[in-house]
Structure 1
Amino acid sequence: MSPQATLTPRATAELLLLGLLWGGTFLSVRLALDEVSVMAAVTHRVGWAALLLWGVVLWRGMPLPRGWRIWGVFAVMGLLNNVLPFSLMTWGQLYIETGLTSILNASTAIFGVLVAALCLADERLTGRKALGVLLGFAGVIAVIGPKVLQNFDPRSAAQLAVLGGTLSYAFAGVWARRFMQGLPPVMAAAGMLTCSALMIGAATLLREGEIALPATLTGAAATGYFAVCATALAYLLYYRILAVAGSGNTMLVTLVIPPVAIVLGALVLNEALAPTAYLGFALLAAGLLVLDGRVLPRRFR
């Protein structure tokens, strides 16, 4: 019998570290956007991360993937898991606070459960999952406000763009489940990010004529952070936790990210969120905990 996936003390510490890394992404992206375009920022994020992960692959002496099929799988995964969500969320941060972006990003797990139930036969929507999804959607509505579609302005569009990014993440999860099982995680991440870099890099060159570099040390540090720490290192850490703790436990990282992003946004950018944003996060957190299952009595699980 295989060992039960569980949150060991080490995995818990690594989960908190991953939450800190991803929580800092939103501030670093916002600082970089003062000096480079959205497309250039995304290109730097996936490009440098891909190079670092290929270094890990070569250092470990892993065989390189061959064949058009596997690279087609990488390309679709890169589009769904990097190019679309990174671009939508980065653009959204031009108009909304970093903390608000992180709260909306927490709905990824909610959409993930719903899309998996629609696309995968063994991921049906149970009563517990339905309750978690409903609580999560209530949180989203509280965050963005029920009148968002009535007053459609750049801020409203930015919030919907971030939600679009979380929906893309959900479809990426289904794609990975169907076509990427059995691949070494580092190899899967390196291949995915390589295809992402080629796609967004080519689009950036066609649209802007160059891939601009940050002009200041602050911009360079922010770019380095979200490429090296929040993407390359975070992927290595994420897959390590996933192997030990399982997907349900790893999902709990989404509860750590928003508080980190909110605190950093307040300290560095003097951001202040509306009370409804905190109410929305509380409902989202409740939905995620219900999905996790451990907050319910055993007879309801």
Structure 2
Amino acid sequence: MITGHRVRALAAVALAVPALLLTACSVSGKPVDLATVTSLDRPQPAGVEVNPPTTTGSAAAVPPCDPAASLRPAGPLPAPGAMPGGTTMKTIQDRGRLIAGVDQNTFLFGFRNPTSNALEGFDIDRVRDVAAAIFGDPGKVQYKVITSAERIDALKKGEVDIVVRTMTATCARWVDINFSATYYVAGQRVVVDRSSPITGVDQLGGKRVCAAKGSTSIQKLREAPAPPEVVAVDNWSDCLVMLQQGQVAAVSTDDTILSGMVAQDPNVKLVGPRFTEEPYGIGIPKQNEDMVRFVNGVLEQSVARGSWAASYAKWLGQAGGPAAAPPAARYRD
């Protein structure tokens, strides 16, 4: 039971509280530590560079070559799990896993499925084909996620056995590493906002255009009749973000990568024809020629068995790409 004295005491406290709050508020008549807003610009992705140096291979003199011509397979493939002694493939088999440098940000080619957290895409299928040929198990892979700029160094340092990351074979890159036969041919194009009046690369002069560090796309943009101001980022997904935020007028790279952007965002569009040819090869350390011949045998087998076509239909057919025809292998020996 609450007594009359207790009621009067509680009422006094209740009356005192508002008075205390008013007193506290009147101690200072103005806000403290006001934030000064100097810009409403949206933040840029980390690592953005404007007009970066071009780094697509060796700085030494580059001998002429056919960049799409690789080393011929050395006869039929050995049975999975029975790699010949003394070979690069036997070393990988004994280790128990293939180490592959891949992307996780390029939709349709190498990306992380947000539902399963698994790496998927056309390039990932090529890795799984190689693992299946060595082990009889396509899942025996250790994926190492790398950026475009890290691809060659990862191979030269022996951090990975192969790189399968939308990598164009060029004569400059052949100086530093080996490539498999071409497993896909792309071509550079342009993506812009759907409301943009830009219709091709010839209209990019002086405009800010996004490309990935270490890609051949940067040099090709600089060779355009009307060169743009190149904005370089670590990953292609950063380019899409900058385009969405209005920080660049366009993104330019291989149409395969751009098709993935269009599939992700209906507010952007592909414009203009291809203005380059980009033969994709699997990167392999320079000293491992036996691995080059083995991987080329795997690629021939994937075409013959239909796994290349099935992979294309699953990933690239949905993006409206060219007809599902694997490129004919070319060999230099």
- TM-score scaled to structure 2, two decimals? 0.23
Higher strand share: 2
Higher helix share: 1
More RCO (CA 8 Å, sep 6+): 1
